Structure 1
């Protein structure tokens, strides 16, 4: 799975576990920023990622987010990994790299 897709999956995981408080952050982004990406990763017919979601993905520490990618918790929150993988491309984020 590509890093960018893994990033989005991690965003959703961290948000689901820790809530959406701006008082704390993970991997250089606030939890509320991660929450902004959730609708774009849930079926059916997800909306395009919002500007807030795309800004979050751009600011994130990708290496940090990759360290969370082995978790299977995401599926418990309705996240479709195939949709999540598409978010960085939809946000037009170049050079997302690989974990």
Structure 2
């Protein structure tokens, strides 16, 4: 059990380092995480933040459909640290036509 917690912690640390580096560099090249380019996350920003988010646009849905959603499951507890409201992810997926999201979302 301890190994699993260590693995998740290491995955989170790696993700945090990558995202922090991408944010700190103004003209950073995009970094892929789970088939999502970090520069493309902004296309979905309005759809997973706020009290009454608007529906996602076609650019956001293209990002969502290309993502490896199962790969993102270990990071779900940390999404809010990156401005993503985890409760908004499932509705966003449904609005983009992802009919079988992983059980973690």
TM-score (structure 2 length as normaliser): 0.62
The unaligned stretches of length 5 or more in structure 1 are 1-12
Render the CA deviation track for 1:45-91: whole Å, top value 9, x for unaligned. 321101111111111112211121122x61673x4433332101111
- Name the structure 2 match of 1:84: 89
Written as runs of structure 1 = structure 2, the 5 A alignment for 1:20-99 is 21-71=28-78, 74=80, 77=83, 79-99=84-104
Larger radius of gyration: 2
- Name the structure 1 match of 2:5: none
Distance 2:29 2:59 in 1: 13
Distance 2:55 2:31 in 1: 26
Distance 1:94 1:47 in 2: 19
Render the CA deviation track for 1:21-43: whole Å, top value 9, x for unaligned. 55311111101222211101122
Secondary structure of 1:70's counterpart equals helix
Determine which structure has greater relative contact order: mean sequence separation of CA pairs < 8 Å that are 6+ residues apart, divided by chain length.
Answer: 1
**What is the number of residues matched between the two proteins?**
85
Are the aligned partners of 2:70 and 2:102 in contact in 1 as well (CA < 8 Å)?
A: no
